[in-house]
Structure 1
Amino acid sequence: MSTDVVRTPAPSIAGVGTAVSPTSYSQQDVLDTFGISDPRIRSVFLNSAIERRHLTLPPMTDDGTPSSETQGDLLDKHKGLAIDMGVRALRACLDDVGATLADIRYLCCVTSTGFLTPGLSALLIRELGIDRHCARADVVGMGCNAGLNGLNAVSSWAAVNPGELAVLVCTEACSAAYTLDATMRTAVVNSLFGDGAAALAVVGGTGSDASGANGHPRVLKFASCLIPEAIDAMRYDWDGAQNRFSFFLDPQVPYVVGAHAELVTDRLLAGTGLCRSDIRHWLVHSGGKKVIDAVMVNLGLSRYDVRHTTGVLRDFGNLSSGSFLFSYERLLREKVTASGDYGVLMTMGPGSTIETALIQW
């Protein structure tokens, strides 16, 4: 087995931070709040492997029922929550690194639960007083896989700016992407997603500090797989009947993703001298119970391998682009990583797309 996957200094992940919206609900709480009695829909909620999610529900009317939110209301909710959670996740990340706002040289913001122009990067720079000359990028509309698309951009910038601090912020106000109706399509979506943000700090390697020392893994390689025949299987588009955007998940998504997980993982490891059994840590997007099971089966993973993925799903639901970073944070808290360990990060989303990254401590 080769232990020299890269020959030049690779950027290192220096710190992580997470944040959620203020209020959490059990699945039963949500069913009770919206008065959902349809046994089929209740079954979707109660058999989701999710215990609690952080949500920002509509204000209650005088008769005790949730008020109706327009698309404009939802966009305002997205902006407020995305900034608030993004700020807190970013500050937590900087605290983890031991850095300050003044140290940030590159900021990449990821979100899919609302549209903003100017983007979140500009809004966060203004909100926090970050240097106006900070380089920035916004990854918008790529869905749950987009955290790794953002990490790819951040790592690429860090690689050519050694010693400088680049930060990725994934902030998803999933409460701003909900539609309320009696369809099973909507029930699946409404049972799954939660509000959350995660930030990751990346520093370009300078040689002596590029070996994964101090518990900081290096980012070695990325691999992607777009599945064109399933391009409409996950989509966020306009619902004329509801007069708002609505998310659609095809029931076949778990099986499509699972069937391609091996292909993209083998591509990620190609040329490294590594095989799947050499990967000690697997951090997979908490896309849902069936998605996780499909990836497990196709990659031959154990329940232990995906313990962080299932734990995040249980405690937070699907947090979209930042889910895998919540899992990464949990892995670090376990203090089980050792120098030389390899890890695979995997996210999946609209396209249908699977994104992967190889890291090494």
Structure 2
Amino acid sequence: MTQLNSNTGAAILGMGTALPLYSIAQADVAELIASSLQDNPDLARFARRIFKSCGVENRYTCDDSYLGTAETCRYLPSGDRTDIPTTEERMKKYQQEAPPLALEAAKRSLQDANQAPAEITHLITVSCTGQYLPGLDVMLINELGLSPRVNRLPLMFQGCAAGLKAIQMARDVVLGAPGSKVLVVCVELCTLHFQPVKEREALFAASFFGDASAACVIGEPGVKHKHCLSLGKGYSVLLPDSTEDMTWEVGNTGFDLYLSPRIPKLLGAHLEAELGQLLGDSPLPELWAIHPGGRGIVDSVQEVMKLSDEQTRYSREILRTAGNLSSATILFVLESMRRDMEARNEQTKEGVAMAFGPGLTAELMSFTYVPAYSPSYQEAGHAVF
């Protein structure tokens, strides 16, 4: 069998995810939105339809304001809109809620990798939903017991594609500096940026984003590592004529996100050629880790690449149970896939991961799930497992 990841020396050695305390049903969020649109019944009906059809059944939030009624939810008020949280307030909430969530995911990833914190050489922190200094990297160093000399690489305000970008950066670090151990931590509090809806386009973004954190440890695998993901080649590409189709700007009442309904069609038009560039003459892999930026995106990839429902079920399940978690989402998908491979006692399988963000940017990467390290397999010129 052709090995997509021949001779790679980097792998995801452990992963960890974390969700906030508060769970909200999609139907309840839809009612909050609809209640805030009492003066626009047509838009309210459209909101209910979009929320019902986007593939999300449940989401998580760091703010219990969403658990109340439309009268008490400051983010999506049904009446007086003078008390909508300012960007400053939202950033203070981010500074309060993001660190413990990121810390929980990071601890789980270190434990899963059987990795001593003091041996981490590089720390990549990823977020597009909040910023402050000193930031998440300093907090993680202090709370995890990382070396104060760890190389810190913040990757901020890059959107949903940044999680896979960080994984590829970590792979390059390990390949360029053998012996490195890289901790990647993504945390996104997307619900902090919900705002009263004024037009149909804003409903697409409001219909599927949720809060979460995810982390992974990337390094050279050894005999103590099992059920790892060997990282193959990958790259980032800007898709043509799509600059205005996804934008993310700082406003006075949070960050303003615009998602064009053209995005699934744009991906469908360009993705097959880009995957051909990535995979070359290799057969299509069995495993597909697709960033579920919305049901339409997963549908488009499945249709263009002629994938089975089984091959897209990991992405659809994360979307259904937690929503789009921005940069953390691809790690949730990969972790779900890896755990399932382990539970089913699967053997080595090839895969491809993809995530999408403003630009439009597509991050693409090949990988291999391998259940256990095998020096003889390495000597044969394949992956290092």
- Give the TM-score taking structure 2 as reference length: 0.84
2:376 match: none
Q: CA deviation at 1:122?
A: 2.4
1:41-82 Cα offsets, whole Å, 9 max, x none, are 111111111000001346489994212211111111222332
Gaps (5+ residues) in structure 2? 39-43, 75-83, 371-385
Worse-matched range after superposition: 182-191 or 44-53: 182-191
| 2:377 alignment counterpart | none
- Structure 1 match to 2:248: 236
| Matching residue of 1:250 | 260
CA distance, structure 2, for counterparts of residue 59 and residue 216 of structure 1: 39
1:133-282 matches, cutoff 5 A: 133-204=149-220, 209=222, 214-239=226-251, 243-270=253-280, 273-276=281-284, 279-282=285-288
CA distance in 2, matches of 1:216, 1:268: 21
State the shift of 1:189 in Å. 1.2
Secondary structure in 2 matching 1:25: strand
Higher mean alpha-carbon deviation, 75-84 vs 115-124, is at 115-124
Q: Secondary structure at the match of 2:204?
A: helix
Question: For residues 345 and 319 of structure 2, what CA distance do their matches in structure 1 show?
Answer: 22
> Partners of 2:334 and 2:4 in 1: how far apart?
23
How many residues matched? 350
CA distance in 2, matches of 1:131, 1:40: 52
Give yes or no for contact 1:238–1:246 (8 Å, CA) kept in 2: yes
Counterpart of 2:53 in structure 1 is: 47
CA deviations on 1:301-324 (whole Å, 9 max, x unpaired) are 111101000000000000111111
- Greater Cα shift, 246-255 or 152-161: 152-161
- Aligned partners of 1:224 and 1:264 also within 8 Å: no
Distance verdict in 2 for CA 1:62–1:189, change over 3 Å: closer
What are the residue-to-residue correspondences of 1:337-356 with 2, within 5 Å? 338-356=346-364
In the TM superposition, residue 338 of structure 1 has moved relative to its aligned partner by: 4.1
Aligned partner letter, 2:73: P
Q: Deviations over 1:269-323 (max 9, x none)?
A: 12xx4121xx111111011011110111111111110100000000000011111
The question of whether the paired residues in 1 share the 8 Å contact of 2:85 and 2:253 is answered with: no
CA contact (8 A) 1:33 1:65 kept: no
Kindly state the Cα deviation for residue 5 of structure 1 after the two structures are TM-superposed: 4.3
Say if 1:4 and 1:139 are closer, same or farther in 2 by CA, change over 3 A.
Answer: closer
Gaps of 5+ in 1: none
Q: How far off its partner does 1:192 sit? A: 1.1
Distance in 2 (CA, whole Å) between partners of 1:339 and 1:160 is 29
Summarize the Cα distance change of 1:78–1:4 in structure 2 as closer, same or farther, 3 Å threshold: closer
**Residue 130 of structure 2 aligns to a residue in which SS?**
coil
The within-5 A match list for 1:62-101 is 64-67=71-74, 68-101=84-117
Letter of the 2:3 partner, please give it. T
AA aligned opposite 2:279: L
CA 1:290/1:62 → structure 2, altered by over 3 Å: closer, same or farther? closer
Summarize the alignment of residues 315-326 of structure 1 with structure 2, pairs less than 5 Å apart. 315-326=321-332
CA-CA distance at 1:337 after TM superposition: 6.6
Q: Does 1:27 align with 2:38?
A: no
Q: Provide the secondary structure at the position in 1 that maps to 2:286.
A: strand
Cα 1:222–1:27, aligned 2, differ >3 Å: closer, same or farther? same
The answer on 1:102 being equivalent to 2:122 is no
CA RMSD of aligned residues (A): 2.3
77-86 or 342-351, which deviates more: 77-86
- The SS at the match of 1:236 is strand
Relative to structure 1, is the Cα distance of residues 238 and 136 closer, same or farther in structure 2, using a 3 angstrom cutoff?
closer
Judging changes above 3 Å, is the alpha-carbon distance between structure 1 residues 178 and 262 closer, same or farther for their aligned structure 2 residues? same
Once the two structures are TM-superposed, the CA of residue 238 in structure 1 deviates from its matched residue by 4.0
Q: 1:56 to 1:182 in 2, by over 3 A?
A: farther
The match for 1:310 is: 316
Residue identity matched to 2:354: M
The letter of the residue matching 1:347 is A
The letter of the residue matching 1:322 is: A
Change beyond 3 A, Cα 1:316–1:237 = same
Name which of structure 1's ranges 223-232 and 311-320 shifts more when overlaid on structure 2.
Answer: 223-232
| Distance in 1, Cα, partners of 2:225 & 2:149 | 31
Q: In the aligned structure 2, how far is the partner of 1:244 from the partner of 1:200?
A: 29
Letter matched to residue 108 of structure 1: I
Identity in percent? 27
